[in-house]
Chain A
Amino acid sequence: MVKVVESPEGVEGQGFFATSLDKVIGLARANSIWPLPFATSCCGIEFMATMGANYDLARFGSERLSFTPRQTDLLMVMGTISKKMAPVLKQVYDQMAEPKWVLSVGACACSGGIFDTYSVLQGIDKVIPVDVYVPGCPPRPEQIIEGLMKIQELAKNESLRRRDTDEYAKMLESYNIEQAK
């Protein structure tokens, strides 16, 4: 039995279904998140396992991965990011179109992990805003899936105006990220 996503509440009639735009867009966005696997280290291998048939991230709508930021919604940063890589990560984030989410997988991406050294960026939230953190070293595929499910909840319940608000603009400014107008 294939389980289909529940439709939101609305008024139904012969040949039409009326509901609120927020809910429909939220539903569409949440169930078709196309990720960009920014896999650098060991967490990338766990991600490969998560995409495999056993744990299967594709059943959550993430069937189509892409390594180009232009066509993706979710930036999954998995692995140690060195300070030399940080500007590259920021550029990839800049190239993504709104709405975009960031999932930080693994201890190294969240906070530098065990690598408290001169060359490792101590957490990607030093350069880009992060929505969900998945701790672990490496986190099991089930945990990565839970991270994705939390992103799904965020996408589903997000207000359509959020990316245009002043608060969001201020937040991006605090990261020195120019918002594309």
Chain B
Amino acid sequence: MAFINENTNNSAVCSVDQYDMLNVNVTADQLIDLVDVLKNKQGFIYLTDICAAHYPEKVGAEFEVIYHLHNLIENQRVRLKVALAESDINIPTLTVHFVGANWMERETFDFYGVNFVGHPDLRRILNMDDMDYHPLRKQYALEDETRTDKNDTFFGR
């Protein structure tokens, strides 16, 4: 499943295999060129998903933006991971290569606050427009903070 080991390009790109899926860790600068090669030369023409993860314990690389690409003809998938620090949470937008990245990046921005540089319309997509925080970051609780009627004894607290 992971025979695409010709890491086709240039510089320091490390790749790790987990569950037979190729994971490639890149930096934000290398991302666009790597996706260019993967899409135009290697046939990864389908962007499955863009999401993010928040690791507050990894100081300096708290946010990880994850791209899943799929080669439909050879049935190969690859995962690209870009680590971003909380202080500089900017990453170039993938809308130059995939039109579908538009809404996926808006969702990632909505929930994690990742700033996609060059995105045509970066605003919230699933949450309310007047929400002032990014809910899936680890410091925010899942529960609705505005409830007044929760009796703690029933909730086992």
Contact = CB atoms under 8 A, between A and B. Distances in A.
State which size class the interface on B falls in: 10 to 19
A118 B126 contact: no
Contacts of A120: 144
Contact of B135 (A112, A118, A122): A118
Interface in B68-94: none
State which size class the interface on A falls in: under 10
A116 B143 contact: yes
9 contacts: A83-B127, A84-B126, A84-B128, A116-B143, A116-B144, A118-B142, A119-B127, A120-B144, A122-B144
Contact of A116 (B127, B140, B147): B147
B29 interface: no
A118 B147 contact: no
SS class of chain A's interface: helix, strand, loop or mixed? loop
A117 interface: yes
Contacts, number: 27
Contacts of B140: 118
A117 B128 contact: no
A119 B142 CA distance: 9
B127 A84 contact: yes
A117 B142 CA distance: 5
B135 A119 contact: yes
B57 interface: no
B145 interface: yes
Contacts of B143: 116-118
Interface string A109-139: 0001000111110100000000000000000
Contacts of B145: 118
Contacts of A112: 144
Across the A-B interface, give the 4 residue pairs with the lowest CB-CB distance, nearest first. Answer: A116-B143, A118-B135, A84-B128, A117-B142
Interface string B103-147: 000000000000000000000001110000001000011111111
Nearest to A118: B135
Interface in A85-130: 112, 116-120, 122
